[in-house]
A and B are shown apart, each in its own frame.
Chain A
Amino acid sequence: MTAPADVTAALQAQFPQITPRASGDHPAVNVPPAEAVAALKYLRDEFAYDFLVDITAIDNGVEASPRFTVIWHLFSTAHYNYVRLASDCASDTEPVAPTATSLWPAADWHERETYDLLGVTFENHPDPRRILMWDGYPYHPLRKDFPLAGIEVPLPDIEVADLTGASVKPAPMMGGPFVASAGEMNLTEAEPRAKDESWTERKTKPLSE
């Protein structure tokens, strides 16, 4: 089986609602969520795009609408070409996409990850749990409104959290490659130093014992 000369045109002939999508490399199309699975199946069965490479989503920004775009990448083990499908989710607050688990079992984990990190729910997914973060984690970290440092949350193990009072704290962002200014502290104080070198030009050197 060979790849069609123009996979976009071939898809458009079958699904009139599909539009071409700007892409830096492989052929790419926009497909309405309702037709996504049918289009994927069509590509798999008719054009030998038999390898599901990846499923992910893009958060286009808090203000953007449509906010979430789900992306599928397919590869062919017969003619070695890629194709990209993109589908804008209708809802900006509770994005929903169709599941491709009926076509490829590989979609299972990819969709779980997309749900976990971006909060896109895949309809009729057989096992809609989080995969990287723990069950019960309240946020979707790859969303644009989630801060890089993280948000303080209770430990996943509630018994341990009750006993120790510990929680998962935001990362200290001081002095790393992420920020240019050291915030409240001055840079010399913010810079991490070995304990016995904790003196600076402002702090006097502690007397040796």
Chain B
Amino acid sequence: MATEFAFPDNASKAEAASQEFQTEKMSLAMGPSHPSTHGVLRLQLELDGEIVTKCDPMLGYLHRGDEKIAENMTYNQFVPYTDRLDYLAPLASNVAYAIAVEKLAKLEVPARCQAIRVIASELARISAHLLGLGAYGIDVGAWSVFLYAFEEREKLYKLFEELTGARFTTSYTRIGGVARDVPEGWTGRVEAFCDQFLPILEEILTLLTRNKIFQDRTVGVGVISKEDAIAYGLTGPNARGSGVPIDLRKDKPYSGYEQYEFDVPVGAKGDCYDRYLCRGEEMRQSVRIVRQAIKTFPSGSWYNEDAKKIFAPQKAKVLTSMEELINNFMIVTEGPQMPAGEVYFEGENPKGALGFFIVSKGGGVPWRMKIRSPSFCNLSILPKVCPGNLVSDVVSILGSLDFVMGECDR
């Protein structure tokens, strides 16, 4: 942008205001059921008039003990639980989890499976960012964005349903492959979606990008410096919005991301507006990746055929062949057999780097599984970034961080 913005120095403004008026501080619980907290997050705010002087996030309202549950079930049984981490982009969580376990098993999946996973993750990213932008629009007073975004999301749901059988909780991946191959003609329909989506995306972004009200609410609000972004462990669009060029798809390519050409958008100032711009651009890049993946969509197997003790055999074979029947029985009852060891894998999810640290002592059940959730880390900056802002700006900051409590609280 040509003009330079002078960011308001809110911290010193707050200090000056409290010096001048000698006001009494007020404590305000924002949430757990507040429309702008996108779920069940409670911010214990300390206010001086309208200016926040202290922010203490209270988590755990959606804590379900996923890590404990993971220790008590087989690797494939946990796939549906990964849907419920980032429930706005379940496909991406499915993929990250499957790759983490495959890393433990030292298992490679065929190129077709990788391409399916890439397309699934990128479509999930688009749907998550659409919701992120739509909900952010509502937070700062632009209702119509949500309606346009949800129409597109609905189209994506249709594609997800065709692919996985479910619109929302997809549970699509299995260790060593995916649940089923892509349906006939699905890639063509994805391409058709991409073709009609790009003009609509431009329209959606036009509603916000040059919108004076939206800019007033976001430009210069909630500035996170590059150093802070790294120190607080921010990942995903929130880190990139602050100018930290980390994107695991580029830096630590997995699932064949190295074959695709795409750019990583990076913000300049690290304010709410930059984070919004990053998300908008990421959707365009996701469309680019999806198109490339479809163009070079490999034929061949969509699961690892050599992993007979890990990937459950096809139903037709289970019913006709003794060996497959035994393998199927063992995989379902005992779980896919894993070697002992420790692995850590992070995937670049819509909200940031979703990591799984798996400690295995062999067998079909993990000994310990730690889920490193990007929303949890992204929220940890709130006590730093909120003080000095107006209460209404807290809403703007929360929306721009685009978190999911299901993933944060696990």
A→B interface (CB under 8 Å): 22-26, 28, 50-54, 56, 58-59, 71, 73, 77, 80, 82, 84, 104-106, 108-109, 113, 117, 130-134, 141-142, 146, 148, 177-178
Contacts and interface: CB of A to CB of B under 8 A. Distances in A.
Given A54-B370, A106-B377, A117 B230 contact: no
B66 to A, nearest CB: 11
Contacts of B16: none
Given A105-B384, A148-B72, A50 B230 contact: yes
B67 interface: yes
Q: How large is the interface on B (under 10, 10 to 19, 20 to 34, 35 or more residues)?
A: 35 or more
Contact of A25 (B60, B67, B244, B344): B344
B344 A148 contact: no
A163 B63 CA distance: 25
Contact of A148 (B68, B103, B104, B384): B68
Given A56-B370, A131-B59, A106 B68 contact: no
Nearest to B60: A132
A58 B368 contact: yes
B357 A24 contact: no
B231 A104 contact: yes
A132 B409 CA distance: 7
Contacts of B77: 177
Contacts of A54: 344, 355, 357, 370, 372
Interface of A, helix, strand, loop or mixed by DSSP: loop
B376 A109 contact: yes
Residue in A22, A51, A80, A113 whose Cβ sees the most chain B Cβ within 10 Å: A51
A59 B67 CA distance: 12
Contacts of A22: 341-342
Contacts of A59: 368
Interface string B34-78: 000000000000000000000000011001010111001100010
Contacts of A77: 230, 244, 246
B344 A73 contact: yes
A146 B355 CA distance: 25
Interface in B230-247: 230-233, 244, 246
A67 B226 CA distance: 38
A148 B60 contact: no
Contacts of A108: 380
A138 to B, nearest CB: 15
Interface string B138-150: 0000000000000
Contact of B69 (A82, A131, A148): A148
A26 B60 contact: no
